[in-house]
Amino acid sequence: MNMATADSIAADEAALRRDILRIGGFLHQKSLVAASDGNISVRLPGGRVLATPTSMSKGMMEGADLVVTDMDGRKLEGRRNPSSEMAMHLLIYQLRPEVNGVVHAHPPAATGFAASGIALNQALLAEVVLALGCVPLAEYGTTGTPELSATLRPLIPHYDAILMANHGVVTYGEDVWKAYFKMETVEHFARIALVTHILGKQNLLGQEEVNKLLEARQRYEGITTAAANSANCPVTREGAAGGQPAPGLGPRLAAPPASNGKRRW
Ligand SMILES: [Zn+2]
């Protein structure tokens, strides 16, 4: 490696550290996390990962608090320790080679859906279908154990945002900003979905509209995950009327009863 290359890698890494600190500030200020919840990571060259440390508010970190690990989660640099939730980040990097940033948080509305066993899988908003395709619900697994990785593993290749039952949300993208903005979109969508449930009625998009959005998602964003909703995710108007829920997805909203205008819960 020549000096110029080494300098540019160091500059890139410094910029990525600043990105993580800024995103940590947003997670904290927007109440997407509480106390020392959540974690953020980026993939570095050479099989390394730069990540937030354990037991620290994501809104109060300095550059030197971040840790660098290898792809097995072993610490390579840093005065603090990596989070036990790093296993989830590393699994995503392993299964999705194009992903370079992962954000995990406990946003209140989306985590409320996750704690109620309800996926955010209804085709309610065109922008959300375009941005995320569908947000499935992974079954419960204890944080920091292979159990959690096992519940996430089948979903990671097909989706860019996942609700984790009784826990929170993980989002990922080509860079850490895209991963973070998906987290904002998930929480915003959860709030809007909640309003539709309070109002007692959801006017879902039809299959034809959803197909157009999924095609556009593939064409403009180069995204192939969840490009075909054969798993009934997102649930369309026709899917809600008679479709089968996808395995592992929240059954209550995957096939809701015909709306009679009354609140269902
Ligand atoms: Zn968590």
Residue 185 lies inside a defined structural domain of this protein: yes
Mean pLDDT of the chain: 88
Residue 143 has pLDDT above 50, yes or no: yes
- In a domain? residue 251: no
CATH number of the domain that 17 lies in? 3.40.225.10
- The alpha carbon of 167 and the centre of ligand 1 are apart by a number of angstroms equal to 6
- Expressed as residue numbers, the domain containing 167 is 3-199
Extended beta strands in the chain, E state: 39-44, 48-51, 67-70, 75-77, 101-105, 137-138, 161-164, 168-173
Distance, CA 44 to ligand 1 centroid (Å)?
A: 23
Could you tell me the distance, in angstroms and rounded to a whole number, from the CA of residue 219 to the centre of ligand 1? 33
Q: For residue 212, is it within any domain?
A: no
Residue 168 lies in a domain: yes
Q: What is the pLDDT of residues 91-125, one digit of tens each?
A: 999 999 999 999 999 999 999 999 999 999 999 99
DSSP string, 111-141: HHHHHTT--B-B---HHHHHHHS-B-EEPP-
pLDDT attached to residue 265: 33
pLDDT digits (tens, 9 = 90+) for 28-54: 999 999 999 999 999 999 999 999 999
Q: What is the rounded average pLDDT of the residues 157-177?
A: 96
38 C-alpha vs ligand 1 centroid, how far in Å? 5
Give pLDDT, residue 20: 98
226-260: pLDDT as tens digits:
544 456 789 999 988 865 444 333 333 333 333 34
Of the pLDDT bands very low, low, confident and very high (cuts 50, 70, 90), residue 193 is very high
37: CA distance to ligand 1 center in Å?
Answer: 6
Number of folded domains that form the chain: 1
Residue 237 lies in a domain: no
d(CA 96, CA 59): 28
Is the residue at 183 inside a domain? Answer: yes
20 occurs within a structural domain: yes
